[in-house]
Amino acid sequence: MIDIPSIQPWDTSESFCNDLPTQFQPQLGKILVTGASGYIGGRLVPELLNRGYKVRVMVRTVFPEYSSLWPSAEIVVADALKIDTLRAALEGVDTAYYLIHSLRLGPKKFEQADIDAAGNFRRAAEEKQVKRIIYLGGLGDIRSSLSSHLQNRAEVAVQLKYGKTPVTVLRAAIIVGSGSASYEIIQHLVKSLRIIFIPRWARNRCQPIAVRDVIKYLVGVLEVPETSGRSFDIGGKDVLTYEEMLKILAQLRQKKVLFVFTPLSNIRLYAYFASLLTPVPDAITACLIEGLKNEVICQDTAIRKFLPFEPLSYREAIVRAMSREEQDKVYTRWSDAYYPAYELMLKLHELKGKPAYTTTYAIATQKDASRIFKSICEIGGREGWFHSNWLWRLRGGIDRLFLGVGSARGRRSYSTLKVNDVIDFWRIESIEENKRLLLRAEMRLPGRAWLEFNIRQESGDKNLIVTAHYDTKSFFGRAYWYLCLPLHHFIFHNLIKEIEKRS
Ligand SMILES: NC(=O)c1ccc[n+]([C@@H]2O[C@H](COP(=O)([O-])OP(=O)(O)OC[C@H]3O[C@@H](n4cnc5c(N)ncnc54)[C@H](OP(=O)(O)O)[C@@H]3O)[C@@H](O)[C@H]2O)c1
């Protein structure tokens, strides 16, 4: 039964921390979670709330869904690059989780942004006399030549520790969980390839950790005051090469893949192909794959003394991630974090004036609005676009070649949708149940585009309407619109016919 649109309720019986060997600390005051719109932060907030903590969630953009997702949390808007906003966010805070990361700015821009953000945070935390910061960073031996990403994670820890506020640093390698970027990269490589070429660096070792164990450590250190001001390596049960990780996943998926060693080891080239074959965009794959040249293994096991639980093996973590996907219970995904100054963030209603071009296709229907809306909400991802799927896939493929997001991002969930979720190369801008779904294009375009679905009752007739909005100022942009127009006519007409048929 598809239940669209709604927020996927967080099921407390599935809490990762139910078997944590520590207890709620009632003396702790307000807990601030930064990076709450991200993959880790989004999973940490409900766990803290569930344990009874007073949580303040820091985000750069507020979406109406947040108050349904975290009903008892206080929500504050702040940008770590603007120290004044941080001061307000940190007012009266006891402990702050630092989960801010700007990876999606891409290899050239994220480093400085992350260092500046950490410096501001440390200063504001000190001013506001925050008792403790808890930071989740990356594993990697700082004495070796680390990838720029891992180096940056270590530098952020140093930045935070400059101040007087004690910092607990947790250092993790690859995090495996439904919706994590690393898991989706590995999974899609195995799914889409019959032969995988293994360069020398794929035989480096890594200690992957399940997302549930990461959350347990994050909550656990909060509840053990002795961990304040200390750094800990956290990892799963296994130390594996990247080749072994791919092989285990192939085995679990029962997919026959031939692994062939190759002397060709250009890491940038691999990152480019990985971004073509997986839903994760180039800005992220480039940084993550560059990190594979480093061995990322826990150097010490001190954390076990304070939090003596048995972390999951890689195999167990993968099986859990696969089963969450099967059950359609992916609570957060790498695509959730969304840079608000992102050039494609402009909303349709924020355009100055009307979009340059608009075309509308409509069909009359007798069907119930709720059934039509449910069908509309099923578009994209594995369901495809109901008609001429190959054309949608071709458009996604072209986008990927130009390092755009492509259509392989799919969807976080097949049974629920919320504002800001991605659907292939679109992002949901607005949902009005049984009335309207507005999608904003994130593929590479010489302009800005939106796709709007409406169900309207007009003088006795019910109509299903799809409208393509497009705004451009350039000559190339205009040429693109007119070139695509015949295709739009074909695609959108058939799309609404199919939606109506399925309703
Ligand atoms: N995910 C992994 O596999 C993994 C593995 C090892 C370690 N870690 C560490 O875990 C931490 C969290 O990672 P993640 O995967 O959750 O990252 P993520 O999904 O990319 O989320 C990053 C968060 O940072 C926020 N942010 C970025 N710049 C900001 C700014 N200037 N001001 C305020 N907020 C800002 C983003 O908010 P917007 O939505 O507004 O952009 C988003 O909420 C990072 O330190 C990372 O190194 C993660």
Q: Is the CB of 37 under 6 A from ligand 1?
A: yes
Q: Is the CB of 117 under 6 A from ligand 1?
A: yes
Strand-pairing partners, residue 205, are 241
Per-residue burial over 191-220, b if 16 or more Cβ lie within 10 Å, else e, is eebeebbbbebbebebbbbbbbbbbbbbbb
- Predicted confidence at residue 282, as pLDDT, reads 80
Q: Is the CB of 45 under 6 A from ligand 1?
A: no
- Predicted confidence at residue 1, as pLDDT, reads 33
**Ligand 1 atom closest to the CA of 61, numbered from 1:** 40
**Domains of the chain, each with CATH number or no CATH:** 12-326 (3.40.50.720), 348-502 (3.30.530.20)
Residue 103 alpha carbon to ligand 1 centre in Å: 7
Half-sphere exposure of 472 (CA within 13 A, CB side): 18
Q: Is the CB of 100 under 6 A from ligand 1?
A: yes
**Ligand 1 atom closest to the CA of 103, numbered from 1:** 20
Q: Is the CB of 217 under 6 A from ligand 1?
A: no
Task: Tell me how many degrees the CA angle 190-196-198 measures, rounded to the nearest 5.
Answer: 125
Take atom 28 of ligand 1 and give the residue whose Cα is closest.
102
Q: Is the CB of 134 under 6 A from ligand 1?
A: no
Residue 20 alpha carbon to ligand 1 centre in Å: 24
Residue 39 alpha carbon to ligand 1 centre in Å: 7
The structure's pTM equals 0.88
Residue 436 alpha carbon to ligand 1 centre in Å: 31
**Ligand 1 atom closest to the CA of 332, numbered from 1:** 19
Residue 394 alpha carbon to ligand 1 centre in Å: 31
Take atom 8 of ligand 1 and give the residue whose Cα is closest.
137
Cα 285 versus chain centre, distance: 13
Q: Is the CB of 43 under 6 A from ligand 1?
A: no
Task: Tell me how many degrees the CA angle 298-166-42 measures, rounded to the nearest 5.
Answer: 65
- The tens-digit pLDDT sequence of the chain (503 residues) is 334 444 556 677 789 999 999 999 999 999 999 999 999 999 999 999 999 999 999 999 888 778 888 989 999 999 999 999 999 999 999 999 999 998 878 777 889 999 999 999 999 999 999 999 999 999 987 777 888 899 999 999 999 999 899 999 999 999 999 999 999 999 999 999 999 999 999 999 999 999 999 999 999 999 999 999 999 999 999 999 999 999 999 999 999 999 999 998 888 888 888 888 888 888 788 888 888 888 999 999 999 999 999 999 999 999 999 999 998 888 898 888 766 545 567 888 888 889 999 999 999 999 899 999 999 999 998 889 998 899 998 998 888 888 788 888 889 888 888 888 899 999 999 999 999 999 999 888 999 999 999 999 877 788 999 999 999 999 999 999 999 999 999 999 999 999 999 98
Q: Is the CB of 149 under 6 A from ligand 1?
A: no
Read off the DSSP letter of residue 217: H
- Stretch (H or E) spanning 33: strand 30-33
Strand-pairing partners, residue 147, are none
**Ligand 1 atom closest to the CA of 35, numbered from 1:** 43
Per-residue burial over 164-190, b if 16 or more Cβ lie within 10 Å, else e, is ebbbbbbbbbbbbbbbbbbbbbbbbbb
Token readout for 467 is 């409208």
**Closest by alpha carbon to 408, among 439, 453, 377, 443?**
443
Q: Is the CB of 420 under 6 A from ligand 1?
A: no
